[in-house]
Structure 1
Amino acid sequence: MPRLQFQPAAHYPFATDMPIQPGQINEGGHLDNVQLLGLVSEARTRFFGWLGYSVMDVAGHAFFVADQAVQYRSEGQPGEVLRIEMTPADLNPKGFDLLFRVSESQSGREVALGKIGLVCVDLASRKPGPMPEAFRQALACAG
């Protein structure tokens, strides 16, 4: 199976910084892959807040992760601060992709690239549904 290959987006309108904590280091002495996904998940929550929404409250809808893919580019080291940048892409009627880049904040060294596929879910029915138009417009303006 071919390895995943991502190219950085041309523009990331959102960025947040997060330090690597001692408990996020694995036996190899670097940032654990599961912990990186946790940091990206927190950045996703902050991205929604930056747009004025909550992952679980976008006009009665929520956004659930449908898929996620990561290409690791280098090791995150103890004590480093990571910059996680995000941009929406591939908007469709029921969701969108959230592209991300993780880098070491001082040097800019890339740690990971990836994407999160998000699907809009109507909380009353717990089924996929159309994105609220105001949220779609906020994503379009952000991208």
Structure 2
Amino acid sequence: MPRIQIELPDAFPFSTELTLYLSHMNAAGHLDNALLLTLVSEARCRFFASMGHKELDVDGRGVIVSDAALQYLSEAFHGETVIVEIAPQDFNKYGCDLMWRMRERDSGREIARGKTGIVFFDYQARRIAPVPEVFRQRFVDAT
């Protein structure tokens, strides 16, 4: 089976720094693969907060992760500070992909990259909902 290869966009409109704690490490002493996704989830939450939203309220709609793909590129260790960058792309009627890259802050070493597919959800109606137009326009008009 071929390896996953993730192509990143040229620019990322959002970035945040996260410190790697001992609780993020696995038995081998480097960043645990499952906890890497936890860090990406924290970055995604901060991404929405930077626009004044919560993941459960983006112009009245919630966000649900529909799929995820990632590519590990190097180890990361306790005490390092990482930068997670996020760029929305490939919009459809109900969602988009949040492309992301994680780098070590001081060296710039790329640790991982990936995409998280999201769909918007109307929790009152209990069904997927169209992408909020304000959110779409913020990124579609920027490209």
TM-score, normalization: structure 1?
Answer: 0.95
Tell me, in whole angstroms, the C-alpha distance in 1 between the residues paired with 2:61 and 2:142.
Answer: 20
**What is the match of residue 36 of structure 2?**
36
User: What amino acid is aligned across from residue 95 of structure 1 in structure 2?
Assistant: G
Structure 1 residue 59: deviation in Å?
Answer: 2.2
Structure 1 residue 8: deviation in Å?
Answer: 2.7
Aligned-partner SS, 1:67: strand
Question: What does 1:1-143 correspond to in 2, within 5 Å?
Answer: 1-141=1-141
* Superposed CA RMSD: 1.2
User: What amino acid is aligned across from residue 22 of structure 1 in structure 2?
Assistant: L
Aligned-partner SS, 2:90: strand
Q: Which runs of 5+ in 2 are unaligned?
A: none
Identity %: 45
Tell me, in whole angstroms, the C-alpha distance in 1 between the residues paired with 2:27 and 2:51.
Answer: 37
Q: Deviations over 1:81-119 (max 9, x none)?
A: 010000000011100000000000000000001000000
User: What amino acid is aligned across from residue 140 of structure 1 in structure 2?
Assistant: V
User: What amino acid is aligned across from residue 36 of structure 1 in structure 2?
Assistant: L
Moved more, 100-109 or 1-10: 1-10
Aligned-partner SS, 2:45: helix
Moved over 3 A (4+): none
Checking the alignment, whether the CA contact within 8 Å between 1:122 and 1:128 is kept in structure 2 is yes
